[in-house]
Chains A and B, each alone.
Chain A
């Protein structure tokens, strides 16, 4: 199979690599570059465990071929907070017990983090809609909604 040379900037670091056309962005991130935060969860783009940001937009990296991301800026969960620290959103996930097994968490956090950039004072229903493409089998979502709501509220107070 013909191989393609691509370049990807992941969390600010540029990588050049050669990939098969069918190789998924998720596979490259995990297997080639060692960003194992994004997880493989389903075959159909339904679960969102693999969510990363591509040029600022939250996307499911199992639905993109690596070649489609050639030249793009990718942000993964590993790039959100400085070493050993948590972002305010991640802090709220911890405070509100918004994660259990943690497998959906990187994707959930990336979706929520991206959503909160534009959402001013979202209602719980709006938050639920925002994360409906990210499945969690452990928490029943209540505490995830709490965490996102609290992050938005705190940010509102600080403004």
Chain B
């Protein structure tokens, strides 16, 4: 599929739609990429962080004397030292909800620790070894307290609360939709079906551990901070307004190459604040790199939902209503988007691809004595689509309808867009049935059902699972975000600049972690300005070079960042047109633009190339009257709506009931992410997304033991899939442009993760239909299957 698509002869060579190889790759392949840990400054000291061994405990005493006396130890700091320094010391919540309890989140713990891994004290030493040795010598006396790691238990059991100002551990109690309409729908419908499910916590495991290098300049009062960030400008703002109180214009945040993020590098963590604060205390550069174990304990986890969901339908399969109640674990502190993820990002997608007249969702956000939980690839949308797709599968069983057919009967038809769902969002565009048909046809759905029946006769269990998904991407229109409680806007900013010699420099506030922005953005510029890719330089990840930005998360870079670049480039082009018209003595409207050349219509020999115009713009000798010199545009693009990518994924599995083993035989993904800038990169995003979705479905799943310790804290305890655990992928795309995005793009960063988990669960449960298995919770391990085929023992 995709391979033939990519080799079609009429594809453009460089601009929109071209599968150009990535500009990023040559240095990365040669080992010349500069990640945060690769940056060295003379005189750098190393930071080690002493972390709580308890889920919940009073800090009776933190004795640092032995550590302080060690060779090569420069200083040891506790939470009290940070408090005494007078910095604001608050990692803020970036999304408020009605009634939200917001306990202060300090950079080092004071009085209490509320989760294992919480930072208690910091050591700065001459070497990484010395820092780690000294951490081991810090003597922390704990008085352990009872704790809860499960979001339901946290709310329902009588336990000492995580925070005193939330006595029942409820951070928020959120509702969306019309409860009365749902009650009515359930009363009127012919049938109902339900499912109780858990979506376990996922641990992001970007291959690059988080890291920071801080360089405080006492003389200028300026801070330079290299850090593993998906949004350096957000980090700059939070360091200024939240943790350190430095003027924003004295902070430079640099996110060089970032080795994967998947959400985990959005947030302002205690660690980079401690690193910076220590540099300020000592007047030396200070460097910190998380060990993988620290990553497991402190990178924000994802998911952690416990849900009861019901669906009401008529006998013909028409869905009448959906009712969902979820307990969402938030962890011990509110990370920046911890509140938005299980509320608006979750409840608003519960309509999936379907026309559902009544939806109601209640979410209880619970403090737990665990690592903070926040957005992880697919955030909220993954959890919501999982719920609706599991409900549709369960309903298909109830109605004895083919699961694809039930889906087809409820898909929102193409003529209904823009479509306002009962979950309070307006889908921009969609051709849902077309994508599903492409997927079903490709996999050979009808034949597979026949083969499944034949194999069952032989005692073999084939499962065919599918999921349809919609993603709300392109986070987000600022006005909408503001109405819903966000403390930040959802715009993106670009500067598109012709240099005086004709090359183009693009500065943009998104921040790549492997997505290939430099290549895709250059393609957008090549398309809009008719210059070659080699003439375009895209700069990201340095707040001193790029004045403003929001960053990369929520599948927003192509649509919002790309939108800002396209709009900026178009403005540049129009200014160039005015200059060309002036110098060619023509009307601007009479100039045609193609391949970088402005030509007078009907007089093809009279033309000017845009790069020649750039030189004229900077010479300034001969410009239209009143026009300022230069050829550079700053653009802030604030989208009018989210974009809504969609698609259908199908998995074919064979399950061995004797061993419980699951083999994925085929995996077919059809994604519609609107217009495609670079099909190779889109396919890569889909592949990686599928891998993380399959990981969630079959292998991953963070868990705490009865002592409140993270049981999955190493790579041999938490199964990040390796190459033999995943199949080859078969991918295809349909193209339904977003009508409101300047490029028609929708985004694709999270789609496949959202789709893959319900797809694979659907397939395994389908295989186990003869055993009366209607649902299995993730991760579905061989043991899960083995037990399920034996009546759940």
A residues contacting B by CB (< 8 A) are 20, 22-23, 27, 30, 35-44, 46-47, 49, 76-78, 80-81, 84, 86, 90, 93-95, 97, 99-106, 109, 124-125, 127-129, 131-145
Contact = CB atoms under 8 A, between A and B. Distances in A.
Nearest to A141: B723
Contacts of B681: 97
Given A99-B28, A103-B35, A139 B259 contact: no
Contact of B25 (A44, A76, A93, A142): A93
Nearest 3 A/B pairs, CB to CB:
A37-B31, A101-B514, A103-B259
Nearest to A77: B31
B691 A38 contact: no
Contact of A140 (B24, B35, B293, B690): B690
Contacts of B31: 35-38, 76-78, 106
Contacts of A105: 28-29
Contacts of B692: 137
Contacts of B207: 39, 41, 47, 49, 101, 103-104, 135-138
Given A39-B35, A41-B292, A43-B291, A100 B684 contact: yes
Contacts of B716: 44, 46
Contacts, number: 176
A102 B38 CA distance: 13
Given A41-B292, A43-B291, A143-B684, A137 B30 contact: no
What secondary structure prevails in chain A residues at the interface with B? loop
B21 A95 contact: yes
Nearest to B3: A146
Contacts of A142: 687, 726, 728-729
Contacts of A127: 723
Contact of B684 (A30, A81, A97): A97
Nearest to A41: B207
Contacts of B657: none
B217 to A, nearest CB: 24
A124 B128 CA distance: 41
B631 to A, nearest CB: 31
Given A140-B687, A142-B687, 6 more contacts: A86-B29, A86-B30, A100-B515, A101-B258, A102-B257, A135-B207
Interface in B9-59: 21-22, 24-26, 28-35, 37-38
A90 B30 contact: yes
Contacts of B492: none
Interface SS of chain B? loop
B691 A141 contact: yes
Contacts of B714: 42-44, 46
Contact of B715 (A42, A84, A97): A42
B262 interface: yes
Contacts of B29: 77, 86, 90, 93-94, 99, 102, 105-106, 109
B292 A44 contact: yes
A145 to B, nearest CB: 7
Given A97-B681, A124-B728, A139 B688 contact: yes
A88 B692 CA distance: 29
Contact of A41 (B129, B208, B513): B208
A36 B292 contact: no
Interface in B280-335: 289, 291-293
A150 to B, nearest CB: 12
B286 to A, nearest CB: 15
Contacts of A49: 207
A132 B726 CA distance: 11
Contact of A20 (B129, B291, B690): B129
